[in-house]
Amino acid sequence: MSEARGIKSDDLYELISVANPQFSPDGKSYVYIQTTIDRETDEYQSHLFFNTAGSKNKPTQWTFGKGKNHSPRWSPNGKTLAFVSSRSGKSQIYLLSLNGGEARQLTFLPGGAVNPVWSPDATKIAFNTSLKAGQTIFDEEEKKEEKVKPLEVTKMKYKSDSEGFWNGQFRQIAIVDVMSGELAQLTEGEHDFNLFNWSPDGRYLAIGADLNNDNDFSFMEDLYLLEICSKELTAITNGTGYFSGAEWSLDGSYIAMLGDERQFKNATHMKIWLYEVQTKQLSCLTANWDVPVGNLMVGDFLQGVPAPTISWTKNNDGFYFIATARGNTNIYYSDLSGSIKEVYSGEHHVYGLSIHQDTETAVAAISKPIDTGDLYYISLSDSKLIKRLTNANGEFLSRIDLSQPETIEFEGADGWKVQGWLMKPIGFEKGKKYPLILEIHGGPHMMFGNTYMNEFQILAAQGYAVLYINPRGSHGYSQEFVNAVRGDYGGNDYQDLMHGVDYVLANYDFIDEDRLGVTGGSYGGFMTNWIVGHTNRFKAAVTQRSISNWISFYGVSDIGYYFTEWQIQTELADIETLWKHSPLAYVHHVETPLLILHSEKDYRCPIEQAEQLFIALKRLGKETMFVRFPDENHELSRSGKPELRVSRLDYIINWFKEHL
């Protein structure tokens, strides 16, 4: 056996992503999604895998071929599996019988079909589809116009980084009969409807929608009960915030949901709310719990990770959920009074969870800094790991040397405690000095933590120490902490990061203070730009999908006009404040060689932000290079075309190699 080596950028093609576990209703088996990359086509392929919970056999692959298969959902009787596949060229719902045989296509809709939700009696499936105003699911597919036509824009929310320019379609809800294929459309009009769950008695669907007529200025979503027979909507929230993820208790007495009232705009902690069906009372169960509900971990490897949901107990006296705290996401339980306890803890990232109520066991998807992510069988009643179910990358990683990060805590600005992690380079030798790279996350309201980070491991393999920190603005510490960056971009958040660099230089003698690098994307790109305009201590920097000018960002980003007001806390009329917080204003101070990486179709932080920065630096004779990635958006580093993801990593490696 050859000696272990560090991981390389091209190894992305060898790695397998495991996600979205789903327990069978009897708790005896499970399915999940495995995503790989086809080198020949340079495309992602996602397939369903199956195994019995107690089996020592390798999981069985259930779908094959090109395309993506995802969103598996067991029928309540456990006899059939519904899933979504793009094999026909458009996402449609398919059915697999547990008795065997080929998958059967259930929907054939022009707008596609996603998000399958079974009826309690297993005879129907509700789903989301996309339709233009006035169009129905029974209309024939419109012929595509071959001529190039102008795009008429009348709304501010006319583009999205993930979907491009709005095509005039709205998300609607429909039902299909599993045996006959008969369809029924339940919603219509010029609003988006999000499907969550089916009531235990089969009468209602829990759905979400923003029914305000002008959604340019609305950032809410209410929860409604949609009566299937009459199609009548009954609101169970009252327009005070954003609510989602509704889950009925098994006896139909309660609906638990995720929600926040946006007191701190997009920095507000997500909480759990409880609606009592009989009394129609809505209350916030976690109002006094200063922890955000959900998975807010930053990652750059996993594919197809769905939003976490709430899982009720069989006795209807409480539920399980995932929450984010101090660099970890773990499993928690709450009773109906709001008494919360952590039922599965550890320094790791729980990014998927499926619970079997009768046995209080779970299949959990868990990642760690030196574990890409796999499935585990867990007992929730005694907080015990029963067994590891998958080891998707075990054979490959047995030949790879990964760096185990060390957790650090230091005093940031104003004496606030700040958490971070330091990775030693692969092949570390005591007494030797190594360059350090500071990594800064995006959001800014996300969290670095105990999960596998492919980019960090690649940099460690290149001989760099890697420092990553959760400055104020990060989730996982407190509502005050996550809100503190708003109105203070480039202030104490910058100081937190610099205090972190000072801390490791003072406490780790293997770091060469004359060879420091810095990089980050989105907010991390903004902060990289800000850093090189305010200090010359870094000898090289790489800014990715960044913000450089808040004045122009206001009008060109898909979220610009409201995100700017939420985060910088001022309007376009206040040019002075917007310019004060813009890295472009300090470009004449930049002495650090700066590599600028940006995607052509990034609508979140449009490429003009990079263009301005590049031209300003070149005009002043600064050392810089601008790399534009064709046809990619803001998600290049996480889910972009594999070849370009590898190219991006190589540009970062080579820039630091040249300058550090």
DSSP 8-state secondary structure symbol assigned to residue 533: T
Q: Is 253 exposed, middle or buried (0-12, 13-18, 19+ CB in 10 A)?
A: middle
One-letter identity of residue 300: D
| Residue 398 is among the residues annotated as catalytic for this protein | no
Q: Which of 71, 334, 522, 599 is catalytic?
A: 522
- Cα–Cα distance for residue pair 496/499, rounded to 1 Å: 5
Beta strands in 287-358 (DSSP E): 311-312, 318-325, 328-335, 340-344, 349-356
- 267, 297, 295, 289: which is closest to 480 by C-alpha? 267
- 237, 231, 185, 186: which is closest to 210 by C-alpha? 237
| Residue 634 is among the residues annotated as catalytic for this protein | yes
DSSP 8-state secondary structure symbol assigned to residue 192: -
Contact 515, 435 (CB under 8 A): yes
- Cα–Cα distance for residue pair 53/47, rounded to 1 Å: 19
SS3 assignment, position 394: helix
Contact 128, 194 (CB under 8 A): yes
Q: Are strands 328-335 and 318-325 parallel, antiparallel or unpaired?
A: antiparallel
CB atoms within 10 A of CB 3: 6
- Cα–Cα distance for residue pair 4/399, rounded to 1 Å: 5
Q: Is 487 left (phi over 0), alpha (psi -120 to 50) or beta?
A: left
DSSP 8-state secondary structure symbol assigned to residue 147: S
Contact 599, 640 (CB under 8 A): yes
Q: How far apart are the first and last CA of the chain?
A: 33
- 397, 408, 440: which is closest to 546 by C-alpha? 440
> Which residue numbers are catalytic?
522, 634
